Amino acid sequence: MAVGQAYFPDMPVIEGVRLGSAKAGIKKPGRRDLVVIEIAEGSRVAGTFTCNAFRAAPVHVAQRHLAQGNARYLLVNTGNANAGTGESGMRDAETCCQALGELAGASAEAVLPFSTGVIGEPLPVERIRASLPEALASLDSSGEAWRLAAEGILTTDTRAKGASATCDIDGKTVTINGISKGSGMIKPNMATMLGFVATDADIDQVLLESLLREGVDRSFNCITVDSDTSTNDACMLIATGRSARVASDDVIAAFRAALDRVLIELAQAIIRDGEGATKFITLEVGEARSRQEALDVAFTVAHSPLVKTALYASDANWGRILAAVGRAPVEDFDVERVVIDLDDVRLVEGGGRAASYSEQAGSAVMAKEEITIRIRLGRGESAATVWTSDLSHDYVSINADYRS
């Protein structure tokens, strides 16, 4: 299940980036499950990684290799997360980097490895190694290569996820392309599993890192399917420097806006394709004392199984939203000042149901596939937006009936 129509944009060429993929049979045969992204020399790369204490082996290795500053290849496999695999998992990740480096004429340290899939199984290194030549032979910069790469990183996702934006800088067109995957175990903390974004802009390393960190804080870090943070989350931003330079304040602002559009679209695509999702919910919390407070309230509501099952049932059970807001970690909470709207229907004010509310109006909103819940706390000027999905029978089936 998924919300809305499937959509994959036309992806323009990003000069300096080529993508290849292969069917390595990592978990099952016939599935595109191995992706190589080649980055031209002189590009800069920034990354954010999961804060889960049980970081997977490839996350450790990718962080170490990234720190060397000369990344030339991203190597991504689906079907196996190489997480919870201890020392042998670290060796397996290094072996894959070494194998790709040898074939491509680069050092092992120039390869950043990423894995997604089942936790705790040994990585099938030989199958990956055997398919690397096929993936390298297919390296291409076309939109079709982006689409195949987006397919090749999926796990329980039902849709390939891509986004693209451009901005004009000093008469040049700067392009940003991104792909992502994710459907369950989605409550990213500093990143999501997985996002790969590339631009042809020329951006210094420190700025690139801060643009990614701030962008991720407003996109991937604001989504949740089921409150579970993956061991393998990572988001990478590549700047090949083939187009305009991003350095002055005005230009940075324009570039940041375009980057944020791509990141938010990719993050929202994960929610629309959330495991068992039938609804796409935007939670806007305002009038909080701090952004953290707004986020705390938004995530408390977004994680409430009772709110999520009511959304699944299209039941305007505003009492459950109110109860969830009321248990959020907010000090000196004066509930009399809380106002809750469902789209344009006032649900709650003055500590209880709004006088103007009718069950009919509430039900009309709840019948929609995309709903905004607006919560104003009446105690400050900070705000935050979080996107989430509902909790359906299919979520339970997907996670109870299959080992994912």
| Residues tagged active-site | 192
Binding-residue pattern over the window 78 to 107 for its own copies, x denoting contact by CB under 8 A: ---x-xxxx--x------------------
- Name the minimum Å distance from CB 150 to its own copies: 24
Contact in structure between 42 and 17 (CB atoms under 8 Å): no
Question: Which two structure tokens, joined as six digits, stand for 383?
Answer: 């705000």
The amino acid at 275: E
Is 404 annotated as belonging to a binding site? yes
Contact in structure between 208 and 216 (CB atoms under 8 Å): no
Contact in structure between 168 and 174 (CB atoms under 8 Å): yes
| Sites for its own copies among residues 203-232 (CB under 8 A) | 226-231
- Rounded Cα distance, 220 and 231, in Å: 15
- Name the minimum Å distance from CB 113 to its own copies: 17
Is 181 annotated as belonging to a binding site? yes
| Sites for its own copies among residues 338-357 (CB under 8 A) | 348, 350-353
Is 158 annotated as belonging to a binding site? no
Residue number with CB closer to its own copies (119 or 277): 119
- Name the minimum Å distance from CB 157 to its own copies: 16
306 binds its own copies (CB under 8 A): yes
DSSP state of 36: E
- Rounded Cα distance, 217 and 336, in Å: 31
CA dist 339 to 31, 59, 283, 335, 345, Å? 49, 42, 13, 9, 11
Contacts of 123 (CB under 8 A, 6+ apart): 57, 77, 80, 82, 85, 89, 92, 93, 96, 115
Residue number with CB closer to its own copies (43 or 304): 304
Residue number with CB closer to its own copies (17 or 348): 348
CA quadruple 354, 356, 360, 365: dihedral positive or negative?
negative
Is 151 annotated as belonging to a binding site? no
Contacts of 218 (CB under 8 A, 6+ apart): 260, 263, 264
| Sites for its own copies among residues 24-53 (CB under 8 A) | 51-53
- Name the minimum Å distance from CB 213 to its own copies: 19
Question: Which two structure tokens, joined as six digits, stand for 300?
Answer: 């408390």
- Rounded Cα distance, 29 and 128, in Å: 12
* Burial (CB count within 10 angstroms: exposed 0-12, middle 13-18, buried 19+), residue 317: middle
Which listed range, 62-70, 162-170, 202-210, 305-313, lies at the site for its own copies (CB under 8 A)?
A: 305-313
Which listed range, 35-43, 91-99, 112-120, 234-242, lies at the site for its own copies (CB under 8 A)?
A: 112-120
120 binds its own copies (CB under 8 A): yes
In the chain the first and final C-alpha atoms are separated, in Å, by: 16
326 binds its own copies (CB under 8 A): yes
| Residues found near its own copies in the complex (CB under 8 A) | 51-55, 81, 83-86, 89, 118-120, 184-185, 187, 189, 226-231, 303-306, 309-310, 312-313, 315, 317-320, 322-328, 330, 333, 335, 348, 350-353, 391-393, 395-397, 399-401, 403
What residues are designated binding site? Answer: 155, 181, 192, 275, 399, 404
Binding-site residue set for substrate: 155, 181, 192, 275, 399, 404
